[in-house]
Amino acid sequence: MPPFSTQSSVRSRCSLLKGCIPWPAEFAATYRAKGYWRGETLGAHLRRWAAERPSAVAVIAGEEQLTYEDFNGHADTLAMHLGQLRLRNRDRILVQLTNSPRFFILIFACFRIGVIPILTLPAHRESEMAHFASLSRASAYVVPANDRFDYVSLARGVRQRVPSIRHLIVDGDDERELFSLPRLMKPSSSKAIEDQSTASDVALFLLSGGTTGYPKLIPRTHNDYSYNFRRSSEIAGFDESTRYLAVLPVSHNFPLGSPGALGVFERGGTVVLSNDPSSQGAFKLIERQRITHTSVVPTIALRWIESAETRRTDLSSLRVLQVGGARLAEEVARKVRPVLGCRLQQVFGMAEGLLNYTQLDDDEETIVSSQGLPICPDDELRFVNEEGEEVPSGSPGELLVRGPYTIRGYYQAPEHNARAFTPDGFYRSGDVVRRLPTGHLVVEGRAKDMINRGGEKISAVDVENHLLAHPRIRDAAVVAIPDREFGERVCVFIITRDGAPLGLPEIGAFLSTRQVAKFMYPERVELVDAFPLTNVGKVDKKSLRQIAAKISLDREQTE
């Protein structure tokens, strides 16, 4: 049988992947008519980029360099070999790579044959990975070769639990596994692969910040994700001279497509990859590679500023520092230009879609005190109170959104979708936001039950569920505790069966046996006899958050 059947490409023109919710036809027609959706698949994007500037360098990682032409050729070769592994249009694969040029070659190979990569983070562990695998019935799982962590063992554990995984593919050589990503990219008689998908198909899955239970899978189509990074790259001022440093994991929407690496490729610039966000590592690369743009979360921005205040560094090439993922304190924002010598661009985005950027020519006050303007004139924003009623203009309310690159539902999650979206298709962001008269948004806080640890989103319910499995824990309530370094950390209030305390080391040891990602571990534990309750008898998280805030304040005062 030939590696690519034409049948599958015909089928893909009929309907979206089962379990995904499409945009209603009249909205889709408008988004096409207005040019937001251009009908170009992501695989075709790469072909265009390679034709436009074949010998320009697309990616640099250490000593490795990849031109646009090589990038395109390797993607074709890999696509062919993945086809030979019987990976087909609409099959799902788990991608858990650190920042490596092969991450990009892999996802574009997938886009071409219609295989849908699920972009997980390097920090995820067996518990989360097994969940993604079984929910998506993934056919393959791609991991780094032994890094500081043994990803091959992790993947083997997941494969044992989820039999749909037929292949483990390692980015490097590992004697335990058959398939090596570099070898699957070695040129053979590859020729241009015919695109197996259409632009309205799902191209990739991003992960949600996660509020109830495990992160949800977010289906992004070729059309909508293309708009996401094309429009963003305009706003960020990317062009062929852009040299973008990626220090955040590129499987996250911010460094991937907001505008991120894909935004750089669209404009013909160069992406420099690193896995080291420390100021030392990053400053060295910025200087050596003459980096013009980069994006970080607030905790990293703060560390860079503190380091630049005390150490002489040459950051003269840096034009724009984008900061997003969590709230950037205004005092920190004010220091970006004087200390780092570049412009600040605040980015308030979400994997579900909506993106906001401060404009490069906004006045300094707006840049430091707001989280920017939505990128599309057809982003429809509503601000509502707890009853779902519209709040007066300019007052804070929960932000609801609908638009050409904001999803209408998570993958295979009908019950959750009924809560997370309004009946007319607005996504309930869970963020409490107000709009300034200029249209800029200010993020005030969050209505959702989630901890944002320096940009890592942690579901309170998820951590609670793990803790409830501990033999000595009767009940657990997880909330955010304010923290100077990370913005928030995980704090847990527990009721133990014997009334005796349980320490953080014990909790950590327990979570590690359950293969929970380390960033989700509580960093503060409080023993209580009972939880405060709301009128309807629910655990009153608001007052627990207040107690946690007080603990944090007292601690700061005694320090």
| Sites of contact with ligand OOB (CB under 6 A) | 209, 253-254, 258, 324-327, 346-351, 371, 429, 431, 443, 446, 457
Q: Considering the complex, state which of residue 58 and residue 407 has its C-beta at the smaller distance from ligand OOB.
A: 407
Q: Considering the complex, state which of residue 258 and residue 496 has its C-beta at the smaller distance from ligand OOB.
A: 258
Q: How far apart are the first and last CA of the chain?
A: 70
Q: Bridge-partner residues for 163, per DSSP?
A: none
Query: What count of Cα atoms within 13 Å lies in the side-chain half-sphere of residue 513?
Result: 8
Nearest to 229 by CA among 259, 261, 197, 268: 259
Q: What is the Cα 83 distance to its own chain's centre?
A: 27
Tokens of 21: 């919710």
Q: Considering the complex, state which of residue 92 and residue 216 has its C-beta at the smaller distance from ligand OOB.
A: 216
Residue type, 468: L
Q: Considering the complex, state which of residue 344 and residue 467 has its C-beta at the smaller distance from ligand OOB.
A: 344
Residues 6+ apart with CB under 8 A from 126: 154, 157, 158, 161, 515
Q: Considering the complex, state which of residue 170 and residue 350 has its C-beta at the smaller distance from ligand OOB.
A: 350
Q: Considering the complex, state which of residue 20 and residue 507 has its C-beta at the smaller distance from ligand OOB.
A: 20
Q: How far is the CB of 233 from ligand OOB (least distance, A)?
A: 13
Q: 3 burial class (0-12, 13-18, 19+ CB within 10 angstroms)?
A: middle
Q: Report yes or no: 455 and 347 within 8 Å, Cβ to Cβ.
A: no
Nearest to 533 by CA among 491, 490, 477: 477
Q: How far is the CB of 327 from ligand OOB (least distance, A)?
A: 4
Q: Report yes or no: 73 and 51 within 8 Å, Cβ to Cβ.
A: no
SS3 content of the chain, % helix, strand, coil (to 5): 35, 25, 40
Q: How far is the CB of 552 from ligand OOB (least distance, A)?
A: 19
Q: Bridge-partner residues for 11, per DSSP?
A: none
Q: How far is the CB of 402 from ligand OOB (least distance, A)?
A: 15
Q: How far is the CB of 160 from ligand OOB (least distance, A)?
A: 30
* Cα–Cα distance, 197 to 469 (Å, whole number): 43
Q: Considering the complex, state which of residue 431 and residue 464 has its C-beta at the smaller distance from ligand OOB.
A: 431
Q: Considering the complex, state which of residue 68 and residue 225 has its C-beta at the smaller distance from ligand OOB.
A: 225
* Cα–Cα distance, 205 to 118 (Å, whole number): 5
Tokens of 251: 């499987």
Q: How far is the CB of 347 from ligand OOB (least distance, A)?
A: 4
Q: Considering the complex, state which of residue 197 and residue 429 has its C-beta at the smaller distance from ligand OOB.
A: 429
Question: Residue with CB nearest ligand OOB?
Answer: 349
Q: Considering the complex, state which of residue 450 and residue 502 has its C-beta at the smaller distance from ligand OOB.
A: 450
Q: How far is the CB of 296 from ligand OOB (least distance, A)?
A: 10
Q: Report yes or no: 321 and 296 within 8 Å, Cβ to Cβ.
A: yes
Residue type, 65: Q
Q: How far is the CB of 433 from ligand OOB (least distance, A)?
A: 9
Q: How far is the CB of 192 from ligand OOB (least distance, A)?
A: 32
Q: How far is the CB of 253 from ligand OOB (least distance, A)?
A: 4
Q: Considering the complex, state which of residue 171 and residue 352 has its C-beta at the smaller distance from ligand OOB.
A: 352
- Cis? peptide before 219, omega within 30° of 0: no
Residues 6+ apart with CB under 8 A from 273: 59, 60, 61, 99, 100, 101, 246, 250
Given its phi and psi angles, is residue 341 left (phi above 0), alpha (psi -120 to 50 degrees) or beta?
left
Q: How far is the CB of 137 from ligand OOB (least distance, A)?
A: 24
* Cα–Cα distance, 225 to 208 (Å, whole number): 15
Q: Give the distance between the most distant pair of CA atoms in the chain.
A: 72
- Any idea which residue has 């009623």 for tokens? 389
Q: How far is the CB of 349 from ligand OOB (least distance, A)?
A: 3
Neighbouring C-beta atoms of residue 498, cutoff 10 Å: 8
The DSSP letter of residue 423 is T
